[in-house]
């Protein structure tokens, strides 16, 4: 009976490893290749619809297009290189705990600020497409979306700054006293 349980757990582990390999070696590269072509298709379709239905003289369309052009470098020059570096590093290490360098890369504040700002700007564009305001409200919406993305990122970074790195990452493996841990609320001002 024990032999049967051992062989079924071994079989389940092999199936799990095969699924892991399928995701990492087949599905993720396929999605990465399709990502840019799908984004271009969506952009061309949206641009064509905006031109044929409303025209470029409509204020919310102009603000949305300028915002999309300004968002492009955030994704292309900030997020994409950092995410590719993290993915390559993660593929190179064995299963188990993360090395300190990879842990710090995944918790990089610039990565979080860029992702949150990009997301809030995209939500601002969706809001413009939904409400179709005039020029001044459109500019205000995008300005508020930008500031909201930065504010949320910085606030989250400030609150979680001490909690981001476990004591073994900060103290080179030394055991830290859990009662002496400083947080945002116990810090002396």
Domain borders along the chain are 9-53, 55-172
Cβ(132)–Cβ(60) below 8 Å: yes
The confidence score (pLDDT) of residue 99 equals 80
How many angstroms separate the CA atoms of 16 and 24, rounded? 12
The confidence score (pLDDT) of residue 2 equals 47
Q: Euclidean distance between the first and final Cα of the chain, in Å? A: 63
Cβ(113)–Cβ(154) below 8 Å: yes
Digit-coded pLDDT (tens) for 134-189: 999 999 999 999 999 999 988 888 777 666 555 554 444 445 555 555 555 555 55
- Torsion on CA atoms 24, 29, 30, 36, rounded to nearest 10: 140
The confidence score (pLDDT) of residue 5 equals 47
Minimal CA–CA distance to 142: which of 63, 50, 52, 49? Answer: 63
The confidence score (pLDDT) of residue 176 equals 53
Residues of the chain with pLDDT under 50: 1-2, 4-6, 22, 169-174
């Amino acid at each position: 009976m024990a032999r049967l349980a051992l062989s079924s757990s071994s079989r389940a582990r092999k199936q799990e490893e095969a699924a892991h390999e399928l995701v990492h070696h087949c599905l993720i590269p396929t999605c990465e290749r399709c990502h840019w072509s799908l984004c271009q298709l969506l952009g061309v379709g949206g641009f064509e619809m905006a031109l044929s239905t409303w025209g470029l003289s409509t204020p919310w369309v102009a603000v949305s297009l300028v915002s999309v052009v300004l968002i492009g470098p955030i994704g292309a020059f900030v997020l994409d290189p950092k995410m590719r570096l993290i993915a390559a590093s993660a593929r190179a290490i064995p299963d188990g705990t993360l090395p300190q360098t990879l842990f710090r890369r995944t918790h990089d504040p610039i990565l979080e600020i860029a992702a949150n700002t990009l997301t809030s700007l995209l939500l601002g564009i969706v809001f413009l497409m939904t409400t179709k305001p005039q020029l001044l409200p459109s500019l205000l919406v995008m300005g508020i979306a930008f500031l909201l993305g930065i504010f949320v990122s910085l606030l989250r970074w400030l609150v979680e700054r001490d909690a981001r790195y476990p004591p073994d990452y900060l103290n080179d493996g030394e055991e830290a006293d859990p009662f002496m841990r400083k947080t945002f609320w116990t810090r002396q001002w």
